[in-house]
Structures are given as C-alpha cells and as structure tokens.
Amino acid sequence: MAKRRLKKKVKQRLITLLLDIVMVIALCTAGYSGYKIYASMQEDKESQESYDEIRTAVHEDTVGESMTTVSIDWNYLRSVNEDIAGWIRLDDSVVDYPFVYSPNNKYYLRRLMNGKYNRNGTIFVDYRNQRNFTDRVTVLYGHHMHSGAMFADIEKYKEAGFYETHKVIQIFTPDGKYEMLPAAGYVTTGTSSYIRLTFSDDEDYMGYINKFYEKSLFQSEVTIGPQDRIILISTCSYEVDDGRFALIGKLVPVND
C-alpha cells in the first residue's frame, strides 16, 4: 500500500513538472512572438519616420493640372546617400520614395537610405542596369510590406479600376524627369524568367513584351514598340509561394 502511494505521488509530481515545463515553453513562445511583433512594428515606425524626414527635406509639392509635381534637392539626397539614383512617385498612393543604385541586389533589401538595417529596405535599381535608364529594360525592386508601405500599392494594378485612376507613375532623376505609363502586370514567382535585360533582336524584345500583355491582369491603352524603353517594377505577391507581381510601363521623358 505504501509503495502504491509513493508511486502515485511520484506520478503526480512528474505530471506537475511536465505541466510546468509546458507552461514555461508556452510563455516563452508567447513572449518571443510578442517581441517579434513589437520589433516589427518598431522597424515599420523607424522606416516611416526616416522616409518622412527625407520627403520633408527634399521636395515641395505643387499642384498641376493633372497631377502633383515635386522639386527635389539632389545635393541633400547625395549627402544622405551617394547611391541615390532617383525618386519614384505615384499620386494618391504611398509610393513616394527615393531609389538607389549599388553594385549588388542584396545590400538594400534590408537597409534604409542611411544604411541602417531595416526589413523595409530601400527601393533599388538592378545592379546589371545602367543607372540612367538607357537600357531597354530597367528593373526597380521594392518590398510589398504588410504594413502597406513601400511598393504595396503597386500590386493594386491587379485591379482594373486602379489602373483607370493611376495611369502615370512619375520618376525623377538628377538628369531629368520621366513618366512611366503602366502597360501590363501579372503575378509570377521569383524563380520564373520574368526579368530579362538582354535581347537578341527587336523580335525577341517584342516577344518578351507581348508575354506581359498576354498575362496582364488589367488592360491598358499603352502600346510599346521596339524603339521604346520600359521600367519593370518587381515586388512581392503573397497569393503564391515565392510570389512576385511584375509591372511594366513605357518610359517617356518629360520636357519641362
């Protein structure tokens, strides 16, 4: 009888110990999850404040007949980061950011303009491109943040109604101004061949462009010919594994 009571006590203590361990693990997991959420929110706040400071310092909005234009202090931007290549702006959206050019496609994935680590990153030009938009295809990369920041609004071009009210994306550089006229966009994956920078001839180039039109989730009135240059904006899409939303647009110089 005494042995049976002893076994019962030992069993109860083991159960209690096990429950305590499970509770500690659960609390640790909850604490870690809470910390990750807090850290993520702090990074989002830091990113927003960083870009808000830059916006306030480098451009002044003036309302034109059809859209807002900006005046940019390139000297100030260079003082913040010598890799500055331009500014991209889409009216009535969060897209209002500087973009940079660097020797690789990794550095700015998780760094702000000031070089500080932040998962929001900085929009950047593909290192294989020329920084002055002389290539047939120039690629701009930017994150689609769950917070709605960076290129999150670009994926809204999947909706025909969004295109109808956002037919021009403005691009400013130290050497001039451009309009990117959105032409086609679709969802793909990071391992697909949706990015190409070299072509054997005009027919090869137009075949690449036509694939975008065929797969596009919206219908545009923009036509692209062999002589035209395009911008390809690449951002994340969360509806498929390793998803990307790829948007191309005709690049048109703007004469002041």
Give the per-residue pLDDT at 118.
Answer: 94
pLDDT in tens, 206-243: 999 999 999 999 999 999 999 999 999 999 999 899 99
Structure tokens at 236: 């994340």
pTM score of the predicted model: 0.82
With beta carbons less than 8 A apart as the criterion, state whether 88 and 123 touch: yes
CB-facing half-sphere around the CA of 219: CA atoms within 13 A: 0
Q: 117 has which bridge partners?
A: 111
Mean pLDDT calculated for residue range 28-46: 59
Domain 47-254: CATH class, spelled out: mainly beta
* Residues 6+ positions from 50 with CB-CB distance below 8 Å: 112, 113, 114, 116, 118
Residue type, 192: S
Q: What pLDDT does 71 receive?
A: 87
Quick: pLDDT tens for 165-185: 999 999 999 999 999 999 999
Averaged pLDDT for residues 76-101: 95
13, 15, 19, 181 from 5: Cα distances, Å: 12, 15, 21, 82
Query: For the chain, what is the mean pLDDT?
Result: 87
Six-digit token string for 10: 């030992």
Q: Give me the residue spans of the domains in the chain.
A: 47-254
